[in-house]
Structure 1
C-alpha cells in the first residue's frame, strides 16, 4: 500500500510548489507545542509557525476545547440576517485591542479576502461621497498582499503576477522607506497625491513579509500616513502577518502616532486553528454606506462569513494572547532574537540581519543573493529539515517567526541551524552543492 505522501502525490496540487521537481511532502499526523509530528515518528520544530499563523502552539488544549464546544452548539449559520455570540464577542474583543478609531468588523475567510474587502470599502466609500474619480491605489513597490486579483494588483509585479499582468488594475508604487530612503519615498508619495485622485494607500506596517522581512521605522510610516490623510486619502494597514504580537506590540500600528483607517487581519487571528479573516474600519467609512437606498449596500460576502467555530477559535486565541504569560513569552523570544542577531551581524557570509519583536531575518551573502529563486533556498530548506527544523527560506533570506510557546532550548536549535547555513555559504566556490546533510537525533 502507498504511504500518505505517495497517495498525496497522486491526487493533490500544493501551493507555491513546482510539482514536477518537488520531493514528496512530509506527512504530518500530529502537533504538540512548537513541534510537528510526521507519520514516521520524526519531529520537526515549526520555526515559521506554519506560514505565520500559529501563535500559541499546535493542538492547544484551550482552543481545542472551545472549538469542540462550539461544534456541539452551532457549526454554521449564514451571516446575512443572522448573528451569533462568537462573532459578536470576537468583534468586541478585536475592537478593544485595536486603535480606538476602529469601530466596525467585517468578517471574511483569509488574508487575501480581508484585503479585497478593504480595497472595495475604500473605493466605494468615495463613490458614495460623490467622488467616484477617487479610485487610485498606492502601495509599496516590493509589497505582497495576497493571491486574489485585487490583492495581486496592489502587490509588487513579479514572477507571481506576471501571467496576469494585463488583467490587473494599475497601481501607483512608492519605495519602501527603509533607513536612508525615507525622503525619497515621501517625495514619491507627494507627487502621486498631486497628480492622482487617491482613494487609499495600502501597506504592510514596519515589516514586508514576502519581500524578505524588509523592515522600516514607525516615524517613516507616520509621515506617509500623515501626508495621505492631509490629502483626504484613506490608509489600509495589512496586519495579516504583523498582527497579534509579532512585532513586539499587539499590532504594528501600536508603534504609530498616525492611525490607519482600515485594518486587515487573518493568519494569527485564530491562533493557527482555522481559516478566518477580518477587516475593520472607522465609523466614518461604515456610515458612508448607511442609507434608505439599498444600492448603497456593501455587496460583498462569503458562504462561511463569521463561521461560529472559527470565531470561537479566534476568541480563545485572543484571550490567550492577552495573558501575562503570553506577553512574557513574546518578550523572551524578542530578547533571544536580539542577542543572536548581535552575534551574527558583521560575520562573513552574512549580508544583513533584521529583527523586530519575534521576527528575525538573516540575509546570507552569495553570488546570486537577493533572489527568491536563489540556489541557496533548496539547500537551506533541506538542511533545516535534516536537523529537525522547519524553515522556509525566501531565496537567500531565512526568517524565524516562531510560535510564542517555543522554549529557549528550541530556539537554540534554530540558531544552530542558521549557523550551519552560514557555513554552507562560506564553502569554497568550487565545492559542489550539498547532496547529503547530516541529521541530528530527533527522538531522544
Structure 2
C-alpha cells in the first residue's frame, strides 16, 4: 500500500523523496491507532493536537450522524442553522464575558487570517487607514496562509514566499530579564500611531518547540496595547480547549484580548472548523448602513452543520466534570514525570503547561525543528508502540484527555528510556 500511496499522495510537512513510507492506519479508538500490519500505537500527541477526546468518540460520532440525516450543509450567507447557533452560544458562554460575536471559517490558519483582516478593517472602517502594522512575537507560528505566514517567524517554512509577505514588528518572548525593555519597545512603537494589532500565542508557542512564558508578562503587554489603542489577537488554535490546564490560555490573564482564534480541538478531531471570536466593539465597526463596511470574507463550507454538530458535542464533553478532572490529572502526572527526568544529562530543559509537556534534548546540534535527532527519536518511539512526533530535538506529549494511566505511563517510560538510547 505504501507504493500505491506514493503514486498519488503528497503529504504535508514531508520531504517525499527521503521520508519513510507512512504508516497505514486502518482504524483508531480512544488513544490507539491500528495499522494495516497489525501493530498498535498510543497516539500521544492527539494527531496534531486535534483529537482531544480520543479517536472515534461515540458521543461526537452520533452527533454527526444525527445531523447528517437532517442537514449536511447550507450556504451561510443569508441562511443560518441550529448547530451554528448552539455552538456560538456555547463558545460565548465559556469564553471571557466581553466576547460577543463568532465568525466561522475552516481551520486554524484561516481563523488567524480572519482575525488579521478583521483588525485591519476595523481601523479602516473607523477612518484610520494608516493603522495597518502588526506586532508579533519572535519564533511565532500562526499558520500557512499568506497573512498567517506574514505574522509568523521568517524561517525555512516560508522562505520561498518572503517577497510576498507583509512586514511585521517583532518582540522577543518576554521573561524576567527582558520584560521592561520589551514594554519600552512597545510604548515606542505605539507612539507612531500606526499599529493595528498585537498577535500572540498565549503562554505556549507550539511549532517553535513548545516555548513557554508566564502570563504576567503577557498581561503587561496587553495592558499597554489597550492603553495605546492597539487591538490584541490571541491565537489559541493550539492552546484552546483545555490544553494549558484551563479551557483557554487567556483564562490565566487579567487583561483580555479583543479577538481570539480557535480551531484544532474544537470538533474533537472529527471535522475541520475554525472560528474567530471578537468583542461587540469590533463588530460594531462593521455594523453600518454603508455596505462598503461589510466584512467581505467567507468560505464555501463556513459553519458547516456537521462540523458545528461535532463541535457542540466536543464542547459538551470538554466542560463535563469527568473531562475537567482528566485534564487536571494529566497536568499533575506530567509535573511528577518532569521532575524524574529534569536532571538527566541528556535533558537540556523540561517545560510544562497543563497537558502539554516538552522535553528539550541536549544534542550537539542547536535546538531546531531541523535537528537530525528527530528522525531517530521518531522511529524509536514507534518501535515502542508510541506515536510521538518530535519538533527536532523537542519531544513533547499532548495526549487525548481520555488517556488511561497505563497508557500515559507507557509514554513516560518510552521517553525516559529514549534518553539513554538517543544519547549514545
* Superposition TM-score tier, normalisation by shorter sequence: over 0.9
The structural deviation recorded for 1:201 is 0.2
1:253 matches 2:253: no
Aligned with 1:200 (options 197, 201, 223): 197
Partner Cα distance (2:375, 2:23) in 1? 15
Aligned residues: 424
* Counterpart in the other structure of 2:308: 311
The structural deviation recorded for 1:130 is 0.9
The structural deviation recorded for 1:179 is 4.2
SS of corresponding position for 2:191: helix
* Counterpart in the other structure of 2:107: 110
Give 1:292-311 correspondences, 5 Å limit. 292-311=289-308
* Counterpart in the other structure of 1:442: none
1:232 matches 2:229: yes
Aligned with 1:180 (options 177, 181, 203): 177
**Aligned 8 A contact 2:136 2:168 in 1:** yes
* Counterpart in the other structure of 2:347: 350
* Counterpart in the other structure of 2:72: 75
* Counterpart in the other structure of 1:399: 396
Aligned with 2:124 (options 122, 127, 132): 127
Give 1:23-422 correspondences, 5 Å limit. 23-422=20-419
The structural deviation recorded for 1:182 is 2.1
Q: Cα RMSD (Å) of the superposition?
A: 0.9
Partner Cα distance (2:346, 2:19) in 1? 27
**Aligned 8 A contact 2:83 2:312 in 1:** yes
The structural deviation recorded for 1:373 is 1.0
Partner Cα distance (2:188, 2:369) in 1? 31
**Aligned 8 A contact 1:78 1:304 in 2:** yes
5+ residue gaps, structure 2: none
Partner Cα distance (1:203, 1:359) in 2? 18
**Aligned 8 A contact 2:361 2:393 in 1:** yes
SS of corresponding position for 2:359: strand
Partner Cα distance (2:162, 2:176) in 1? 31
The structural deviation recorded for 1:41 is 1.7
* CA deviation string 1:312-343 (max 9, x = no partner): 00000000001110011101100110001111
The structural deviation recorded for 1:420 is 2.3
* CA deviation string 1:374-423 (max 9, x = no partner): 11010010001111111111110111000000111111111111112211
SS of corresponding position for 1:195: coil
* CA deviation string 1:231-284 (max 9, x = no partner): 000000000000000000000000000000000000000011100000000001
Q: Give the TM-score taking structure 2 as reference length.
A: 0.99
**Aligned 8 A contact 1:70 1:309 in 2:** yes
The structural deviation recorded for 1:196 is 5.0
Partner Cα distance (2:65, 2:153) in 1? 40
5+ residue gaps, structure 1: 428-444
**Aligned 8 A contact 1:108 1:277 in 2:** yes
SS of corresponding position for 1:103: strand
SS of corresponding position for 1:225: helix
